[in-house]
Copies of this chain bind each other. A is one copy, B any other.
Amino acid sequence: MAVPGSPASLPDRERNAARTREAVLDAAEALFAERGYEATSLGDIGAAAGVSRGTPGYFFGTKLELHRAVLERCLEQVRAAVRSGRERVRARAHEPADIVAGVVGEYFEYITANPNFVRLMEWEALAGGRHLREVPPHVAAAQEAVSALAEELDLASGDPAEAPQLLLSIIGMSWFPLVHSSTVLAALGLDPLDPGFLEQRRRHVVALVLRGLGLPEPSLSEARPA
């Protein structure tokens, strides 16, 4: 594209494999999350990353391998976010009710700010989890969450055996508005991008979880996470 002799030619783009690889990964994440695996072509990904249609294949070999790389990176990010969120909350709160409220609230805010993760998981779930199965971290992440929850339940003199059910409820309630913005939410006239709605939703989820545990409302300091 950039003719060597042309004075008007852009510097084009410095050749930088690592940078290009990341750009492809970013573009793939956005498109896979938006349209799903089937409906996204390698050409689309290349175009979105500002490279040719062959470049994604050059770096990742096959479309499936690229998808796996996207899933893995995204899962690791969420796992890290939850871990650090939990530590942050435990540093400033000690009552189990406050801790559960804080962690659930932070999780809610994280996925709201990074909806790609939820959409990727949703596409993958509908496809039967065939690609995710080859991505190790997802099992560890789920079990980490359930055992952390069981720990708090135990401290709150609740039943730790309820932890898996409670986790399913937390995730289900948190993911739902992100996924169904254009169907159920639209039919109800709710706008999932409205900060007011999100704040209300976060409060509702936290309240349902706490009341479900028989725990009191959290103290004021936990009403909003940092």
> Hey, which bits of chain A sit against chain B, CB under 8 A?
36, 38-39, 119, 121-130, 132, 138-139, 141-143, 146, 162, 164-169, 171-177, 179-188, 190, 200-201, 204-205, 207-209, 211-212, 214
With beta carbons under 8 angstroms apart, the residue of B162, B174, B188 that contacts A164 is B188
Number of copies of this protein chain within its complex: 2
A38 neighbours in B (Cβ, 8 Å): 36, 38-39
Provide the residues of chain B in CB contact with A182, threshold 8 Å.
125, 128-130, 132
Is there contact, CB below 8 Å, between A125 and B169? no
Is chain A's binding surface mostly helix, strand, loop or mixed? helix
Pick the residue among B36, B166, B207 that contacts A212 (CB under 8 A): B207
A183 near B36 with CB under 8 A, answer no
Contact with A208, one of B138, B167, B183, B212 (Cβ below 8 angstroms): B212
A167: min CB distance to chain B, Å: 7
Contacts A172-B172, A172-B176, A200-B165 hold; do A188 and B143 have CB atoms under 8 A apart?
yes
Decide: A188 and B142 in contact? CB cutoff 8 A: yes
Min CB distance A183 to B, Å, is: 5
Most chain-B Cβ atoms within 10 A of its Cβ — which of A129, A174, A177?
A129
Are B211 and A169 in contact (CB-based, < 8 A)?
no
A168 to B180, alpha carbons, bound, how many Å? 10
Q: Evaluate contact between A171 and B165: CB separation under 8 angstroms.
A: no
B125 contacts A183, C-beta separation under 8 Å: yes
With both beta carbons as reference points, the residue of chain B lying nearest to A182 in the complex is identified as B129
Residues in B neighbouring A176, C-beta threshold 8 A: 168-169, 171-172, 175-176
Question: How close is A101's CB to chain B, nearest CB, in angstroms?
Answer: 14
